[in-house]
Structure 1
Amino acid sequence: MTNQALVATAQALVADDKGILAMDESNPTCNKRFARLGIPQTSEAHRAYREMIVTTPSLGACISGAILYDETIRQTTSEGIPFVQAVIAAGIIPGVKVDAGAKDMAGHPGEKITEGLDGLRDRLKDYARLGLRFAKWRAVIVIGDGLPSRACIEANAQALARYAALCQEAGLLPIVEPEVLMDGEHSLAQCFAVTEQVLHTVFKQLYTQGVLPEAMLLKPNMVLPGLSCSRQDAAEAVAQATVRCFLRVVPAAVPGVMFLSGGQSAELASSRLNAMNVGFKSRVPWALSFSYGRALQQPAMETWAGQGTNVKVAQQALLQRARCNLAARRGEYRAAMEVTGS
């Protein structure tokens, strides 16, 4: 795939106020969520759940891309259709998570380094042959007492940049995901400072590795107070802090900022994205969009609960969340949509 084709994929993923569905939970993560709902933790249950997701009628009207897990790519729907083809048939661009997860970082207690660069070039070639058009790599940064360390930020930024360069070489659009975690008591201001430092370092490394900014997407955290912080700032304050931070460090050439939900409730994720687009959509150089996992899927998973008889109503729950976030991209989301759906 040429650079022009990668740029076209990036533009397609941010077009028409749509966003990306992150359905790339690892098997251990998926099993934990299933266990809480009494759903069997089996490969077949994973397959049935993901089939329910990708066959949701009209999902492509709100969702431009779907990030798949490797297991899903190897599976088929109950009608024998490979999941990649089912996603394409729904009018959605298929992508894949390619990192091997965040592991304890040697010499830095409490911090993580994302692994998976070994053999990545060959894996990316295989994914491209299977029809995938983009990939995703996640790094996690913790705010705490003396954290994050400069070593952790630098190591994760370099890994993200090397991954992104390999993606562009293989003809896959890289989604770069540096996530400053919400866990902790930190304030909005502390999150701002760490997020600015992380993004500055990431883009410096991307430049060093020769990554074309027009042919990538950024999937960052919003600038938020920690979940345990006594002050939980309003959506408008979050929007202002997030955009102000990103204007300092995210190049204008990047087509889109696809926010992760990161443990926010579905409603808060929509409300905060909406506040950004209400206040800043016409004033920023990149699309302010979403790449949500739990904030899109959780209501559907809870409704489905592993029961085939619940598929249709679970799909309606998923579609409503997708429509709420489509509205948030337009700055038209209202709390009443949570009840009426419109």
Structure 2
Amino acid sequence: MNAQELELIDTARGLVASGKGLLAMDESNSTCNEEFAELGIAQTMDVRRAWRELIITTPRLAEYISGVILYDETIRQESREGPSFLNVLADTGITPGIKVDLGAKTQAGHPGEKVTEGLDGLRGRLQAYFQMGARFAKWRAVITIGNGLPSQGCIEANAHALARYAALCQEVGLVPIVEPEILMTGEHGIEECGKVTEQVLHAVFNQLYEQRVLLEAMILKPGMVLPGLACPKQETADQVADTTVHCLLRVVPAAVAGVAFLSGGQTGEQASARLNAMAVRFNAYGSPLPWVLTFSFARAIQRPALAIWNGDDTNKAKAQQALLHRARCNWAALRGDYDIAMEGNG
């Protein structure tokens, strides 16, 4: 391996092997504004900057978070006192990353399905982000279950885009986070979700192999295998843990640096409990998993803090306490030490 490949592997391992997780704060401006609107918060660039500054300046955040995923607007912003957000993160030892896809768009010829765009001009954008100081990137694909979906055409189109993105990342020195998200909307059961997850991950890793992506220098960001939100049967945390990990064992190569779960539509408490069940059940087997398990949550960490802050900086300290609490709960879950009793001590 050359020096750049070794550095990429070190970065990937550092992001997942520290016993910490990743914080996704890469919402697009439109998505961030929608969340603000739900709470009656003003939807302006300055308010978005204030919210993001609240997150990255949370005291002790680096004890539980190894890296943060930023958005294009965010990576260019400065704190109120002057230092750039990137400098603030560097001072705390948190590695900055960047979302680089341009969103999921309707896929031609595939009603009800989407394909993620953003490959055009991506090489230049990745080079610019690396020069700014980003050391990893993220690309999200979305897969819908229901009414005969997903189609193989949708799966293959998204898998191909994810692999081309990942190869371009590694070419410029960025660790790619590969995120094929199976949406939780719908009435499907956990078995159907497991079947689709396995099908999607097979396609993704086939394409990663074809595009010569170095697996040791990438991170997979899947959803947990879960029933749809409208499914009448909702499995226990232990059942989710078993189904999820056994699915991953069938399709994720051992060379992959780590698996960082997204939270999807889970509450913070649900995500922590299910992550904890994986740690407890699979560590107890006495045979370590081939890759590190961790988290890469967004709303499951941010949402309680956002509701407390509500656009008012007089609530900043309490909001930061709530954010740190959720990060600490997930950190504990990675060790099998999370308990619902922790929720009374936020």
TM-score, normalised via structure 2 length: 0.98
Report runs of 4+ in structure 1 exceeding 4 Å deviation: none
Q: Percent identity?
A: 65
1:276-287 maps to which residues of 2 (within 5 A)?
Answer: 276-281=278-283, 282-287=287-292
Corresponding position of 2:251 = 249
1:258-277 maps to which residues of 2 (within 5 A)?
Answer: 258-277=260-279
- How far apart, CA to CA, are the structure 1 residues paired with 2:17 and 2:41? 36
- 8 Å CA contact retained: 1:289, 1:329: yes
Query: Unpaired segments of 5 or more residues in structure 2?
Result: none
Counterpart amino acid of residue 337 in structure 2: E
What's the secondary structure of 1:313's corresponding residue?
helix
What's the secondary structure of 2:340's corresponding residue?
coil
Corresponding position of 2:235 = 233
Query: Unpaired segments of 5 or more residues in structure 1?
Result: none
1:125-204 maps to which residues of 2 (within 5 A)?
Answer: 125-204=127-206
Corresponding position of 2:339 = 334
Query: What is the CA distance between 1:80 and its match in structure 2?
Result: 1.2
1:1-342 maps to which residues of 2 (within 5 A)?
Answer: 2-281=4-283, 282-341=287-346
- How far apart, CA to CA, are the structure 2 residues paired with 1:148 and 1:211? 25
TM-score, normalised via structure 1 length: 0.99
What's the secondary structure of 1:16's corresponding residue?
coil
Number of residue pairs matched by the alignment: 341
Query: What is the CA distance between 1:221 and its match in structure 2?
Result: 0.6
- 8 Å CA contact retained: 1:54, 1:90: no
Q: Which moved more, 1:76-85 or 1:322-331?
A: 76-85
- How far apart, CA to CA, are the structure 2 residues paired with 1:278 and 1:145? 36
- How far apart, CA to CA, are the structure 2 residues paired with 1:305 and 1:326? 26
What's the secondary structure of 1:40's corresponding residue?
coil
What's the secondary structure of 2:231's corresponding residue?
coil
- How far apart, CA to CA, are the structure 2 residues paired with 1:14 and 1:88? 18
What's the secondary structure of 1:283's corresponding residue?
coil
Q: What RMSD over aligned residues (CA atoms) do the two structures have, in Å?
A: 0.8
Query: What is the CA distance between 1:200 and its match in structure 2?
Result: 0.5
